[in-house]
Structure formats: C-alpha cells, structure tokens
Chain A
C-alpha cells in the first residue's frame, strides 16, 4: 500500500458520482422567470398608472403571502415527518391516529377547513372556556395570521404525511436491517440512514407541495389576512379596474411560483445520487 489513504473525498472525486455532476450550464428555464419579471417591470414603468400604483398597493400583501407560505411550510415539513413515521409505526394506536388524520383532512376542502378554523374553532374554545370557567379561553378571539397558518399546516401536513410515508417505504428494508444489526436504535436508523435517503427521494413532490401551498395561500384572504389576493381585491374595490389588477396579481404569483420551481430544480440537482 503506497502512502496514507485519504479519508475525505475531494471535490473532483465527488463529481464523478454518476448522474450527480454539477452542471456549469444555467437551467434553461430561468429565461421564463426573467421574461415574466421583465414583463412586470415594463408594465410598471411604461404605465405607472395603474400598474405602478397597483404594485405599490399590493407589495405588503406579497410579503404576507411569502411569510405565511414559508412559515407554514416549515411546520408542514415537521408534521409530515411525524405523521409519516406514525403511518409506519408498529404501534396500532399511533398508526390508527395518523391514518385517521390523513383520511379526514384530505377529504375536506381547504377553504372549508380555513373557514372552520376562523369562525367555528374560536367559538368552540369560548364554549369550553365558559364551561370550565377559564376566562382566558372564554374571551378567546381568532387571530387571523395564526388561524391561516394553523389551517394550512393542518391540511398540507396530511398531504406531506403521505409523501413522507411513500419516501420512507421506497428505501429498501435492507438499509434499516443493516443499521439495526449494527446496534443502532430505531430512531438512529431513521435519523442517519433512512431519512437522509428518503428526503432525496421525496424532494420533487415536496417541491410541488411548496408551489401548490404558495398558490393555495390565496385562500387565507377569506379569513381576514391581508395577503396578495386580498390586497388586490381591496384595490379593485377602490378603483374598479379588474383587468389591470388581476393581470398584475396573476403575474406576481407567476413570478413567485416560477422562481420557486427553479430553486426546487436546483436543489434536486444538487442532492441527486444513484443507488
């Protein structure tokens, strides 16, 4: 044996993994993002009235839409992981709860769920508070942002549970067996062996969920959250120019979704590996 073998792979060796070569070429679909952004810029500069005014008016709505989407998604990823592990648990009770959650939640429209969380849930809390004589609960008022995030997380968590479950199941059983036979606990085997591989498998559907969530977040406008859609409606109500307002709002959503799709594609490429 000549010399001391290296322990840490250098960049060059890593790039030789089949199918994982980082491409120096920029993803060709970026031009579409650029084109839509350019269209927004051209519209607002050539016709500042009404397009520039619409953009100024709805910009805080964009911030709300993006914040709610990202905040919800962080919790959705956690709920999905817990739910996915629950769906595959050996314990029949845990498995039952997780399955019940998925089956019920994905059978009810998101809009109905959001309305329930905003209008019905606070009343339920108030009633319980009155029965138990807890003033804090009896005087509970719905918080619009909290309600929106809770509703989105509860609903999308169920879809994400199924994605995690499928991802974990797609990892051959031998991987868990090898980890367990080396003395790892169930959670260690999940944490170090199964989940890191499952996450790469589920990345495309998870990316899809993010984009779907970004669009579905427009539904929170019905529960008094001043997101992009609601700000658009407010502007239209004041100036009555539906064509310009909704063209602008649609374009802004398109910028966000196309941009997200490119980011997802980039992450996918980065984390790809062959088995």
Chain B
C-alpha cells in the first residue's frame, strides 16, 4: 500500500437524521500520523462525521475509505473497526466487568489472544495511562478521568492504527481533564493518527497538525491551528473561535 496515501478518505458524505440534514457533502482526508481536531458549534455534525468513520453511524451518500478499505460491506466494516479505536464522551466502559476484564474482553474474542497475553497487554496499557493499581476495580469505583483513561487503554489494546476521540473531556470535571489530555498528548507524540472532536484549545495548540471548523454539516475552513487562531478567513470561524478562546 502506498504510504503517502491518506489513511482516511472521506468523499462527499451526506447524512440525514429524519428531516435534519446533518452532513452536507463533507470531503476530507487524514494522513498517516496526523492529528486532526474538529471544532464547531453543537449540532454542526462533527460527532456524526467522526462516528461515520467507523460506521457507528450509517451515511446516506458518499464514500469513506479507511486504510484502503471502503466501508461498503459488513465484513469490511468489521475489518475497519479492528483498525480504529474510538473513545466516547460517556466512557462506555462495560459496567459488569473489572478494569482488566474491560481491556481483555475484545482482545480475547476478537483477536483470539490467550488469557495470559491479553492480561499482560492490559497491565502494560494501564501502566501507560497511569492507573495500574485500578486493575481489579469496577468502572463505578473510578472517577470520570480514570474511567476515560481506561477507555483509552481499552481501545489501544486492539492495536488500532487510528484513534477517534468524540469529545473525550466534555463529561469531566475540570481537574480531571488534564489527566486525560496528558494521555492523549503522549499518544500524539508517539505518532498515532488521531481525529479528535474537542474544544480543548490547549490540546489543539500542543498537538494538532490541522484544525477543521465545521458548521451546519459542512467543513467551513481548515488550516493549521496557528493560522485559524490568528487569521481565519471566514466570519463564522472568527466568531466561533472568539467565543471558545475567550472562555
């Protein structure tokens, strides 16, 4: 496979929720190792776009190709899902399983790894996200920040090539946001391809290669964070950024 090919190709994707036209012909590429942050007002379609990339959301028109695999058959969708990790706003840890079991379940049933191997990987990743001591805890016993770090570790356990983050810090108390962002920053520095929906401008400045501004189901503008912050082309971008930057 050509390494200079974009790892994610999105072409003219449309999506309706009933009568709401959520995505209006979105076209974008993500290169290998790139960190892309999508910002925009609520209801602008940024989460929907992210969820289309691993087909948690079906789209009506257009084409998405991930790592050379078009999202057009059930088999392809499952192959692509194994290559993409996603982290949700509401963590979605498996409530009936311990932290270790959360990390090993998919490794065992999807990748067919042995119990020992999957547990070894689980502990390595828990150490990486800084909470190995919570290996036997249940999700309910963890703080939001800890739960989100477990969710990141759970996704990483599948060795994804791409990580998607859907507002990973929006449900967290301010003092817990940093611990999650630190893990994401470390991941970005390792060269992971990341698509992030977030309004954490600190993260954008520190890690984003490219920033995309969406509104009403369309990409309005995309550029390096520096360029968007200092000289946005569109009036809507300017207005939106002035609000999030001066919070």
Q: CB within 8 Å of B: which residues of A?
A: 1, 4-10, 13, 16-18, 172, 174-175, 177-185, 188, 192-193, 196-197, 200, 273-275
Whether B110 lies near A182 (C-beta < 8 A) is yes
Contact A180 B136, CB 8 Å, known A192-B105, A275-B95: no
Rounded to whole Å, the gap between the CB of B194 and the closest CB of chain A is: 15
- Please indicate the chain B residues that have their CB under 8 angstroms from the CB of A18 in the complex: 140-141
Query: Max chain B CB contacts within 10 Å: which of A183, A188, A273?
Result: A183
Q: A178-B88, A181-B54, A181-B85 are in contact. List 14 more A-B contacts (CB 8 A).
A: A4-B123, A5-B127, A9-B136, A13-B136, A17-B138, A17-B141, A172-B90, A174-B92, A183-B81, A185-B78, A192-B109, A193-B94, A197-B94, A273-B96
Decide yes or no whether B30 CB sits under 8 A from chain A: no
- Please indicate the chain A residues that have their CB under 8 angstroms from the CB of B78 in the complex: 183, 185
Whether A6 lies near B94 (C-beta < 8 A) is no
Whether B81 lies near A5 (C-beta < 8 A) is no
- Please indicate the chain B residues that have their CB under 8 angstroms from the CB of A188 in the complex: 109-110
- Please indicate the chain A residues that have their CB under 8 angstroms from the CB of B140 in the complex: 17-18, 273-275
Rounded to whole Å, the gap between the CB of A141 and the closest CB of chain B is: 47
Tell me the complex Cα distance, A37–B78, Å: 58
- Please indicate the chain B residues that have their CB under 8 angstroms from the CB of A185 in the complex: 78
- Please indicate the chain A residues that have their CB under 8 angstroms from the CB of B133 in the complex: 5
* Number of chain B residues whose Cβ lies closer than 8 Å to a Cβ of chain A: 39
Decide yes or no whether B47 CB sits under 8 A from chain A: no
Whether B158 lies near A182 (C-beta < 8 A) is yes
Decide yes or no whether B98 CB sits under 8 A from chain A: yes
Decide yes or no whether B119 CB sits under 8 A from chain A: yes
- Please, which residue of chain B has its CB at the minimum distance from the CB of A186? B74
Rounded to whole Å, the gap between the CB of B243 and the closest CB of chain A is: 29
Q: A178 is contacted by which of B84, B94, B110, B123 (Cβ under 8 Å)? A: B94
Q: CB within 8 Å of A: which residues of B?
A: 54, 56, 78, 81-82, 84-86, 88, 90, 92-96, 98, 100, 105-106, 109-110, 119, 122-123, 126-127, 132-133, 135-141, 151, 154-155, 158
Rounded to whole Å, the gap between the CB of B60 and the closest CB of chain A is: 17
- Please, which residue of chain B has its CB at the minimum distance from the CB of A185? B78
Tell me the complex Cα distance, A18–B106, Å: 26
Tell me the complex Cα distance, A188–B131, Å: 28
Whether A197 lies near B95 (C-beta < 8 A) is yes
A-B contact count (CB 8 A): 95
Q: A7 is contacted by which of B84, B93, B95, B135 (Cβ under 8 Å)? A: B135
Whether A273 lies near B138 (C-beta < 8 A) is yes
Rounded to whole Å, the gap between the CB of B204 and the closest CB of chain A is: 24
Whether A181 lies near B100 (C-beta < 8 A) is no
Whether B135 lies near A6 (C-beta < 8 A) is yes
- Please indicate the chain A residues that have their CB under 8 angstroms from the CB of B119 in the complex: 7
- Please indicate the chain B residues that have their CB under 8 angstroms from the CB of A177 in the complex: 56, 88, 92
- A sample of 25 inter-chain contacts (CB < 8 A) reads A4-B123, A5-B133, A7-B122, A9-B136, A10-B136, A17-B140, A17-B141, A174-B90, A175-B95, A178-B151, A180-B81, A181-B155, A182-B85, A182-B105, A182-B106, A182-B158, A183-B81, A183-B106, A183-B110, A183-B158, A184-B106, A184-B109, A200-B96, A273-B138, A273-B140
Question: Nearest 6 A-B pairs (CB), nearest first?
Answer: A9-B136, A182-B106, A174-B92, A178-B92, A183-B82, A275-B95
Rounded to whole Å, the gap between the CB of A147 and the closest CB of chain B is: 39
- Please, which residue of chain B has its CB at the minimum distance from the CB of A17? B138
Tell me the complex Cα distance, A3–B84, Å: 33
- Please indicate the chain B residues that have their CB under 8 angstroms from the CB of A197 in the complex: 94-96
